[in-house]
């Protein structure tokens, strides 16, 4: 058991999609610019996680409105003021009886005035979880304020341990050779270019024109990881007969059906609940999976022949860049 500390800010930045620079708001560390998705938080079961979210101190790229985080699927989240304050359970926030946020939040402030919140919880069970904005969520999540938490079982990195290289522990049929996190989403360029801090966005005007995996559109989805505002590649490299674990999350506002490139996958967990236990096996095979907004799934795919497999959103209007095919929500699995 360890205590893991993460310091995050919400900052303004730009992403590049289809050769166009688009403004966005994203989570960042002090030393980096904002990222889409935000920094991936990795932990083991029983670790204590501390996430300090600052909205002012040393943040010269503030977004101009309050910020706060929520952690769907993770219970027992506590919060305390930073630099000093008492610990309390996270609660919805009201002003004059009106709901203004799903979570405790940090108001705006000076870049020279320390002001923040520390969210605290214990990693009680393995899985993949979204963390995302709980303030003006209809606007801030679309603008990019979200990331992924991956919690592994104890012993996942210890050769000889029964949980070694498993997503959910021994007996859950979640052992893997290759692991890849894929975060689905979409971006409405017009919204991003016209959003105004402190103003609500009319979601009836929401009309996405970019469909993204890990913050990128194809063919850049298959580029390597880098240090840009879109740091995470989506290409999967494996060998024939490897057990490839895809950890898929839908951070967008639309449902997406993600196809496995002609391969058959076995769904072994949904929303971080494993489907296989000592008493039952509820896992099932699919050629693709549909995830509603906010849902996650873990899929094991075993390629039995060498080759390249294209994985993509089955909504064919989501695999273009503007009018050009191929693009959008696509990536590649290469079995060597």
Dump pLDDT digits (tens) for 104-158: 999 887 777 778 999 999 999 999 999 999 999 999 999 999 999 999 999 999 9
Return mean pLDDT, the chain. Answer: 95
List the structure tokens of 298.
């873990």
Question: Which pLDDT value is given to residue 162?
Answer: 97
Tokens 């003021």, residue?
A: 81
CB within 8 Å of 76: residues ≥ 6 apart = 89, 121, 122, 124
Q: The whole model's pTM is what?
A: 0.96
| Helix/strand/coil percent split, the chain, to 5 | 5, 45, 50
Predicted local confidence at residue 304, as pLDDT: 97
Task: Write the pLDDT tens digit of every residue in 234-248.
Answer: 999 999 999 999 999
Confirm if 297 and 267 have CB atoms less than 8 A apart.
yes
Instruction: Give the model confidence (pLDDT) of 269-321 as tens digits.
Output: 999 999 999 999 999 999 999 999 999 999 999 999 999 999 999 999 999 99
**Based on the number of CB atoms within 10 Å of its own CB, is 91 exposed (0-12), middle (13-18) or buried (19 or more)?**
exposed
pLDDT at 196: 80
Which CATH code fits 3-161?
2.60.40.420
Hey, where are the domains in the chain? 3-161, 179-335
Q: Which fold has domain 179-335?
A: Immunoglobulin-like (2.60.40)
CA nearest to 104, candidates 82, 128, 129, 73: 82
Examine domains 3-161 and 179-335 and report if their fold is the same.
yes
């Amino acid at each position: 058991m360890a205590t893991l500390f993460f310091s995050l800010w919400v900052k303004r930045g730009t992403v590049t999609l289809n050769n166009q620079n688009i403004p966005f708001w994203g989570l960042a560390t002090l030393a980096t610019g904002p990222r889409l998705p935000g920094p991936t938080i990795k932990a083991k079961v029983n670790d204590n996680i501390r996430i300090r979210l600052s909205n002012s101190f040393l943040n010269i790229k503030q977004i101009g409105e309050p910020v706060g985080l929520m952690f769907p699927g993770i219970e027992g989240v506590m919060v305390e003021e930073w630099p000093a304050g008492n610990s309390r359970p996270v609660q919805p926030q009201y002003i004059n009886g009106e709901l203004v946020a799903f979570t405790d939040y940090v108001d705006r402030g000076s870049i020279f005035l320390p002001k923040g919140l520390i969210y605290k919880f214990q990693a009680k069970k393995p899985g993949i979880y979204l963390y995302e904005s709980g303030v003006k969520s209809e606007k801030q999540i679309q603008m990019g304020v979200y990331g992924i938490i991956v919690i592994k079982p104890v012993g996942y990195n210890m050769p000889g341990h029964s949980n070694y290289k498993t997503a959910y522990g021994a007996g859950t049929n979640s052992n893997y050779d290759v692991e890849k996190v894929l975060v689905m989403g979409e971006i409405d360029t017009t919204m991003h270019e016209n959003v105004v801090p402190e103003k609500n966005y009319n979601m009836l005007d929401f009309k996405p024109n970019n469909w993204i995996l890990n913050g990128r559109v194809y063919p850049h989805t298959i580029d390597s990881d880098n240090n840009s505002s879109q740091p995470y590649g989506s290409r999967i490299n494996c060998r024939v007969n490897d057990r490839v674990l895809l950890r898929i999350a839908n951070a967008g506002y639309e449902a997406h059906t993600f196809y496995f490139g002609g391969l058959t996958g076995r769904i072994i967990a949904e929303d971080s609940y494993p489907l296989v236990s000592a008493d039952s096996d509820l896992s099932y095979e699919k050629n693709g999976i549909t995830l509603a907004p906010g849902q996650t799934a873990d899929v094991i795919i075993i390629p039995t022949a060498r080759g390249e497999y294209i994985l993509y959103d089955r909504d064919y209007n989501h695999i273009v860049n503007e009018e050009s095919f191929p693009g959008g929500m696509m990536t590649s699995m290469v079995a060597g």
